[in-house]
């Protein structure tokens, strides 16, 4: 029999993450399988899917997420279906099916935006940004990723923030802006290290390795990739192990050591095949094919080529590499006509997919072929095209960077406005209330048990009439600043000041009466003097407890509390005496018990005042509160 309910298992899975929570996840899966309800089966399938995603078994992840989605759709559980559809999109993305991934992300985003699920919106904005980056739409990618980062910062999710920053680094990397990319990578790396996210840290180290490889620093690139490989092996991350092994192989081929490179590439190929990563298989096979042609291992190269031809290759880059290497194989056998055909297929692909860098490479190969065959008109044609596209590409690269800089300036301006908005909110509202407003939450609270403090400065009107206005303001500011610190120290929320009155409330956590009583005593015993007489400033304080409502004004954005409890606390203050704390019977009886012997056994001395007339309430039994003393 299952030990826990479905809801308990669902909550446990929310708290558990791979790899540290692997044992917890396995136990939850076992208990869900015992429950065997439709929801349990769906949650179980989704959990399996997430586990397979982590380990890089993308084919199995697809199967499990699709199974979960089918069940949630049948049950009419829209939110769960949207979350699962997003995970399905990640699985499609990992195997190189980018168009399907984007469809899944967009569908899930629409649902979460409709219902205000901001954490999920952030996750999907980031996923969509990554998909745009892969498709070469860098400006759009940066826009989506910055939206995701903005929400992550608001929600206070360092883990999600680090992932988005890393993806922003990928956009800069794709644009050739390596300094900014490295800045993002190292920032993300620090965040992941601070929160112990070693697998994500490994991903970032891999990105840093890619920059080192792109800039020709192959020794440091190898060092980075070997670090990454060690981490992925430690956690059994199959996808990470495969990609890291492939990256190491590619570095060796760039160093001209195709033999060593092939050793790593063959290992990576086996792993990608086991993981069901179609795009990974095609990419590695293309790299193996190129290495075999370079070392003149033509027989095996033909075998690899046959396998590549039988595959459905999604990535245009992989397809172009295949055709270029096919052409080089023909050239090696003096099959120049066939070589030209393959080059032209590669050229057409690069033109159709608007890949100017690939067009440059292919025109260079065609130019070389024309020189070999003494086709001088063809040589001139391809040389001219090569030169033209190089010049255009340089111009376009500059334009792209300028467009991205402009986009960044727009994003920075929005962020600056947001910071100003938050500064205004924090200056007028308690921080946790301001943060809720910023997240778009409706602030309409209800507290069953709150303790309310009203304080008034005794003789304020008389004394202030004899003083300069600036002196009065300075004195009040000094008093209320001290009271703010006392409130914060006792976990009491200051609500507002009205003239010389101070209103504060304690709620949300245990011992509200004790906390606000401690604050009241500290305020009452604080030392302030009137500047013109040297007399001590005295206060009246009233305390009461009970239910209150917390509301936020729509025009002035001021958080306030109201209800009968607030009114009674105000009456306690107005019927108090200078230098005394007046409390209701309800408040007195809620203070914790000690061994003292007074009217009540409390940590603070509670003395009966008697029954008095309270406006709007009639006769009430009330008490005086003072610090406990043996006397």
Q: Residue 399's pLDDT is what?
A: 53
Residue 511 neighbours by CB under 8 Å, 6+ apart: 592
Q: What average pLDDT is seen over the chain?
A: 84
The 10s digit of each residue's pLDDT in 351-384 is 876 666 688 889 999 999 999 999 999 999 999 9
Q: Is the pLDDT of residue 2 over 60?
A: no
pTM of the model: 0.54
Residue in the block written with tokens 């199967």: 63
Q: Mean pLDDT over residues 479-484, rounded?
A: 94
Q: Residue 599 — pLDDT band, cuts 50, 70, 90?
A: low
Nearest residue to 184 via CA among 140, 145, 217? 145
**Residue scoring higher pLDDT (313 or 495):** 495
Give per-residue pLDDT as tens, 605-630: 788 899 999 888 899 999 998 754 33
**Mean pLDDT computed over 585-592:** 87
Only one residue has tokens 């976990």, namely 491
Tens digits of per-residue pLDDT, 522-537? 999 999 999 988 899 9
CA distance 63 to 91: 10
pLDDT at 630: 36
Contact call for residues 201 and 191 (beta carbons, < 8 A): no
CATH architecture of the domain with residue range 1-116: Alpha Horseshoe (1.25)
**What topology is assigned to 431-627 in CATH?**
Alpha-Beta Plaits (3.30.70)
Q: Is the pLDDT of residue 236 over 80?
A: yes
Mean pLDDT of the 484-498 span: 90
pLDDT at 442: 67
Q: What is the pLDDT of residue 1?
A: 47
Q: Decide which of 616 and 567 is more confident.
A: 567
Closest CA to 565 of 609, 613, 503: 503
pLDDT band of 180, cuts 50, 70, 90: confident
- pLDDT above 60 (res 87): yes
Cβ-Cβ contacts under 8 Å for 195 (sequence gap 6 or more): 158, 159, 162
Give the closest residue to 514 by CA, choosing from 490, 496, 483.
490
Domains 317-394 and 431-627 share a fold: no
Q: What pLDDT, on a 0 to 100 scale, did the predictor assign at position 319?
A: 85
428 vs 388: which has the higher pLDDT: 388
Q: Which residue has the tokens 């440091």?
A: 220
Q: Mean pLDDT, to the nearest integer, of 296-304?
A: 91
- Mean pLDDT (whole number) for 138-145: 89
The residue-averaged pLDDT of 47-64 equals: 83
Q: Please provide residue 501's backbone torsions phi and psi, each rounded to the nearest 5 degrees.
A: -105, 150
Per-residue pLDDT, averaged over 416-430, amounts to 68
CATH topology of domain 231-314: 1.25.40
DSSP class of residue 18? T
Instruction: In whole angstroms, give the CA distance from residue 289 to residue 293.
Output: 6
**Mean pLDDT of the 266-283 span:** 86
The secondary structure element, H or E, covering residue 289 is helix 278-294
Query: Does the structure show a pLDDT above 50 at 596?
Result: no
* Domain limits, the chain: 1-116, 231-314, 317-394, 431-627
Query: What integer is the mean pLDDT of 314-318?
Result: 72
SS (H, E, C) 314-345: CCHHHHHHHHHHHHHHHHHCCCHHHHHHHHHH
What pLDDT does residue 22 have? 74
3-state SS, residue 573: helix
Structure tokens belonging to residue 133:
């980056």
Question: Average of pLDDT values for 196-200?
Answer: 84
Where residue 486 falls among pLDDT bands split at 50, 70, 90? very high
Report the percent of the chain where pLDDT is more than 90: 40
> Which pLDDT score is estimated for 383?
94
C-alpha–C-alpha distance, residues 27 and 526, integer Å: 57
Q: Cα separation of 8 and 118, whole Å?
A: 24
Q: What's the pLDDT at 395?
A: 59
Q: What pLDDT score does 214 carry?
A: 75
pLDDT of residue 629: 35
Residue 264 has pLDDT above 90, yes or no: yes
Q: How confident is the model at residue 427 (pLDDT cuts 50, 70, 90)?
A: low
Q: Is the pLDDT of residue 125 over 70?
A: yes
CATH superfamily assigned to domain 317-394: Tetratricopeptide repeat domain (1.25.40.10)
If phi > 0 it is left, if psi is from -120 to 50 it is alpha, else beta; for residue 601 that is beta
Instruction: Provide the pLDDT for residue 628.
Output: 40
pLDDT at 556: 63
């Amino acid at each position: 029999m299952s030990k826990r309910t479905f809801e308990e298992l669902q909550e446990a899975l929310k708290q558990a993450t791979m790899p540290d929570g692997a044992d917890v996840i396995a136990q939850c899966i076992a208990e869900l399988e015992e429950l065997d309800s439709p929801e349990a089966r769906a949650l179980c399938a989704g959990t399996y899917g997430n586990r397979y995603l982590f380990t890089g078994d993308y084919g199995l992840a697809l199967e499990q997420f699709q199974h979960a989605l089918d069940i949630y759709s049948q049950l009419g559980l829209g939110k769960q279906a949207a979350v699962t559809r997003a995970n399905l999109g990640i699985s499609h993305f990992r195997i190189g099916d980018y168009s399907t991934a984007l469809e899944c992300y967009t569908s899930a985003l629409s649902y979460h935006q409709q219902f205000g699920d901001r954490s999920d919106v952030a996750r999907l904005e980031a996923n969509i940004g990554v998909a745009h980056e892969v498709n070469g739409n860098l400006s759009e990618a940066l826009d989506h990723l910055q939206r995701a980062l903005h929400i992550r910062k608001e929600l206070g999710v360092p883990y999600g923030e680090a992932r988005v920053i890393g993806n922003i680094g990928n956009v800069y990397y794709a644009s050739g802006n390596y300094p900014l990319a490295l800045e993002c990578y190292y920032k993300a790396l620090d965040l992941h290290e601070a929160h112990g996210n070693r697998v994500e840290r490994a991903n970032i180290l891999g990105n840093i390795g890619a920059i080192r490889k792109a800039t020709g620093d192959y020794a440091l690139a190898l060092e980075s990739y070997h670090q990454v490989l060690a981490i992925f092996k430690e956690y059994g991350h199959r996808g990470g192990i495969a990609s890291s092994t492939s990256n190491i192989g590619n570095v060796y081929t760039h160093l001209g050591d195709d033999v060593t490179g092939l050793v790593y590439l063959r290992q990576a190929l086996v792993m990608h095949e086991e993981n069901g990563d179609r795009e990974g298989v095609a990419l590695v096979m293309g790299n193996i094919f190129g290495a075999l042609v370079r070392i003149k291992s033509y027989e095996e190269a033909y075998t690899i080529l046959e396998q590549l031809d039988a595959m459905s290759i999604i990535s245009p880059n992989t397809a172009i590499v295949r055709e270029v290497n096919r052409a080089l194989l023909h050239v090696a056998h003096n099959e120049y006509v066939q070589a030209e055909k393959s080059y032209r297929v590669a050229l057409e692909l690069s033109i159709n997919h608007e890949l100017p860098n690939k067009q440059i490479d292919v025109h260079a190969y065609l130019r070389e072929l024309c020189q070999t065959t003494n086709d001088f008109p063809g040589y001139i044609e391809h040389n001219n095209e090569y030169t033209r596209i190089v010049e255009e590409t340089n111009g376009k690269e500059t334009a792209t960077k300028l467009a991205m800089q402009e986009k960044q300036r727009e994003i920075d301006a929005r962020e600056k406005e947001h910071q100003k908005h938050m500064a205004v909110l924090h200056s007028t509202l308690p921080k946790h209330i301001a943060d809720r407003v910023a997240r778009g939450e409706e602030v309409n609270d209800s507290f069953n048990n709150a303790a309310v403090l009203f304080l008034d400065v005794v003789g304020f009107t008389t004394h202030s009439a004899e003083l300069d206005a600036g002196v009065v303001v300075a004195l009040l500011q000094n008093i209320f600043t001290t009271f703010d610190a006392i409130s914060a120290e006792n976990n009491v929320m200051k609500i507002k000041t009205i003239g010389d009155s101070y209103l504060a409330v304690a709620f949300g956590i245990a011992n509200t009466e004790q906390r606000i009583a401690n604050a009241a005593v500290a305020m009452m015993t604080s030392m302030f003097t009137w500047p013109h007489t040297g007399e001590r400033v005295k206060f009246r304080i009233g305390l009461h407890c009970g239910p209150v409502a917390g509301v936020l004004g729509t025009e002035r954005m001021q958080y306030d509390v109201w209800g009968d409890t607030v009114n009674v606390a105000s009456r306690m203050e107005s019927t108090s005496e200078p230098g005394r704390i007046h409390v209701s019977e309800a408040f007195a009886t809620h203070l914790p018990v000690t061994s003292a012997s007074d009217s009540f056994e409390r940590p603070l001395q509670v003395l009966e005042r008697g029954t008095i007339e309270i406006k709007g309430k009639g006769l009430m039994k009330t008490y005086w509160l003072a610090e406990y003393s043996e006397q």
